[in-house]
């Protein structure tokens, strides 16, 4: 059944228009797909478990090169303010970005193509996420035509296409993995003709049991996850016994087991919605946090994911958005939030570094790095703040947002990540 599609422009997501009763009837009618899902996980479960155990043994124990291309942030064009968006994007120091193109806005592909050209002219590498709705499931020919036009128009300017979006939520129009596989196979069919790179399956949240059957059926070049952990607050917090670092390992283990090969894994969407933003927030209640908490969690999530050696890239959703973005567009001029400065500072220090090891004194986190002959650490705690006698003795301490702090060998660890250099930087501008 097709329900009228309704988009929520304030939160950048669809309204959930299908009644719960109809969704339940659909799930009962398609009971066979759930047996197929269970069967696939039983087959691939042992392989995934062994991979997961291996990943957990090596995480944070081996050096990891933190490449500049691991940091990314998504953008949306704003009519008449694209130059401002490009300037803000450039200010962050990031070089990788993502924008969406929706099947129900096919007439805007020409404008998206122009935006892609402008991004490329500024030196940004682009991924485009291609969004679906319920009608596309029943009208595969129209969906395929949209994909082909997107590949033709945007293909010369972007490095890859993420096929579909958050399809494990019925408001996005797909009600089981079989329907999504049908949409994704259309992209695979067109791939060789158009020479494009495909990314997927864009599952949202901690529902990794969907990876084995989908990745067995669809050959993606990169595995992607919209891995939100906002409902439990800090990324170190647990959801049913799983914290963020455990989820990173499970994501890669199940993706590679389903694909039957080594596979690069990206997180193509994550954020924490902000309290006090009303209808602009994509969630209600517990997931909403203060701007200070959002900035802390952003840095901690990036460090936990990228130093694991399992995640190749993380995209923050998104640069400008009232309810969750790095920049609040409700104010004039647009206001850079604490998360903007935290993101910018993180990239400045970590991009091009090598992660060396993690230490956990008194339950805190100290991640040590080397860059350009300098050694430094990033430190915080998710629990009660405490004083730590830092060794080697710091010579420079920089706060989460890039400001210098008083130097002391006795360091106060709290929720705000700090950058601690252990001998003088040779570059005074760093």
At 150-162, the pLDDT tens digits run: 999 999 999 999 9
Which of 379, 384, 385, 370 lies closest to 399 in space, CA to CA? 379
pLDDT at 426: 46
Q: Which fold has domain 18-351?
A: TIM Barrel (3.20.20)
Nearby residues of 202 by Cβ (< 8 Å), 6 or more positions away: 129, 162, 163, 164, 165, 166, 167, 224, 225, 226, 268
Q: Do the Cβ atoms of 274 and 288 come closer than 8 Å?
A: yes
Query: CA–CA distance from 316 to each of 230, 269, 296, 326, 366 (Å)?
Result: 13, 6, 14, 9, 23
pLDDT of residue 424: 47
At 80, list the tokens: 């008449």
Element of type H or E holding 367: strand 365-371
pLDDT at 285: 87
Cα–Cα distance for residue pair 254/234, rounded to 1 Å: 24
Task: Tokens for 185, please give them.
Answer: 């196979």
| The pLDDT value given to residue 428 | 43
Strands (E), 156-276: 160-163, 198-204, 222-226, 265-270
The parts of the chain modelled with pLDDT lower than 70 are 1-3, 17-18, 23, 26-28, 30-32, 34-35, 37, 424-430
What does the alpha-carbon distance between residue 44 and residue 330 come to, in Å, rounded to a whole number?
48
The CATH classification number of 354-421 equals 2.60.40
The tokens for 125 are 């590498």
Please tell me the predicted confidence (pLDDT) of residue 97: 98
CB distance 203 to 267 below 8 Å: no
What pLDDT, on the 0 to 100 scale, is given for residue 79? 76
Where are the chain's structural domains?
18-351, 354-421
Q: Provide the whole-model pTM.
A: 0.95
Report d(CA 71, CA 73) in Å as an integer.
7
Q: Which residue has the tokens 């003795």?
A: 393
- ∠ CA 169-171-176 to the nearest 5 degrees? 45
What whole-number distance in Å separates Cα of residue 51 and Cα of residue 57?
10
Place of tokens 């979006």: 165
Cα gap 324→272, rounded to integer Å:
6
The pLDDT, as a whole number, for residue 118 is 96
Residues 16 and 308: their CA atoms lie apart, in Å, by: 36
């Amino acid at each position: 059944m097709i329900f009228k599609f309704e988009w929520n422009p304030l939160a950048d997501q669809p309204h959930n228009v299908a009644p719960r009763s109809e969704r339940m009837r659909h799930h009962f009618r398609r009971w066979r797909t759930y047996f197929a899902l269970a069967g696939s996980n039983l087959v691939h479960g042992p392989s995934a478990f062994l991979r997961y155990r291996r990943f957990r043994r090596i995480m944070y124990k081996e050096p990891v090169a933190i490449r500049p291309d691991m940091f990314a942030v998504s953008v949306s064009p704003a009519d008449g303010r694209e130059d401002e968006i490009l300037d803000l994007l450039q200010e962050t120091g990031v070089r990788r970005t993502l924008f969406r193109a929706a099947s129900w806005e096919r007439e805007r592909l020409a404008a998206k193509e122009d935006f892609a050209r402008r991004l490329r002219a500024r030196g940004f590498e682009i991924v485009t996420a291609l969004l679906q709705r319920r009608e596309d499931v029943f009208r595969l020919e129209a969906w395929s035509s949209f994909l082909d036009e997107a590949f033709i128009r945007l293909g010369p300017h972007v490095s890859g296409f993420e096929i579909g979006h958050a399809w494990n939520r019925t408001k996005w129009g797909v009600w089981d993995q079989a329907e999504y596989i049908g949409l994704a196979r259309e992209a695979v069919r067109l791939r060789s003709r158009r020479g494009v790179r495909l990314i997927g399956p864009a599952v949202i949240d901690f529902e990794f049991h969907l990876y084995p059957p989908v990745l067995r059926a669809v050959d993606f070049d990169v595995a992607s996850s919209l891995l939100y952990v906002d409902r439990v607050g800090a990324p170190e917090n647990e959801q049913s016994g799983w914290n963020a670092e455990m989820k990173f390992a499970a994501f890669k283990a199940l993706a590679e087991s389903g694909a039957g090969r080594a596979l690069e894994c990206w997180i193509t969407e994550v954020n924490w919605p902000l309290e006090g933003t009303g209808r602009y927030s994509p969630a209600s209640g517990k997931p909403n946090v203060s701007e200070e908490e959002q900035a802390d969690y952003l840095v901690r999530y990036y460090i936990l994911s990228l130093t694991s050696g399992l995640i190749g890239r993380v995209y923050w959703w998104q640069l400008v958005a009232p309810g969750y973005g790095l920049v609040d567009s409700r104010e004039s001029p647009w206001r850079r939030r604490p998360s903007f400065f935290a993101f910018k500072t993180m990239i400045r220090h970590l991009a091009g570094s090598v992660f060396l090891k993690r230490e956990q004194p008194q339950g805190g986190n100290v991640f040590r790095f080397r860059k350009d002959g300098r050694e430094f650490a990033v430190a915080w705690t998710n629990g009660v703040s405490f004083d730590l006698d830092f060794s080697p003795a710091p010579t420079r301490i920089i706060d989460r947002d890039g400001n210098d702090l008083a130097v002391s060998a006795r360091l106060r660890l709290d929720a705000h990540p700090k950058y601690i250099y252990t001998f003088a930087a040779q570059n005074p501008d760093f």
